Amino acid sequence: MVYQYRTSVIYDISQLVHHLDYMLHNSYITCHQVHVQG
């Protein structure tokens, strides 16, 4: 039970990190495009 809980927490954190990385990547591309156009 405890092991399962820890695994799920680690999984949640990795999903969160992946999501944040994806958002940062998208916002970086958007800023870069705006900078190039402007």
Give residue-wise pLDDT tens across range 6-30: 889 999 999 999 999 999 998 888 8
What pLDDT is stored for residue 12 in this prediction? 95
> From CA 12, how far away is CA 32, in angstroms rounded?
30
- How far is residue 37's CA from residue 32's CA, in Å, rounded to a whole number? 9
The pLDDT, as a whole number, for residue 38 is 53
CA separation for the pair 29, 17 (Å, rounded): 18
* Predicted local confidence at residue 33, as pLDDT: 77
Residue 32 scores a pLDDT above 80: no
Residue 10 pLDDT: 92
Annotated domain spans of the chain: 1-33
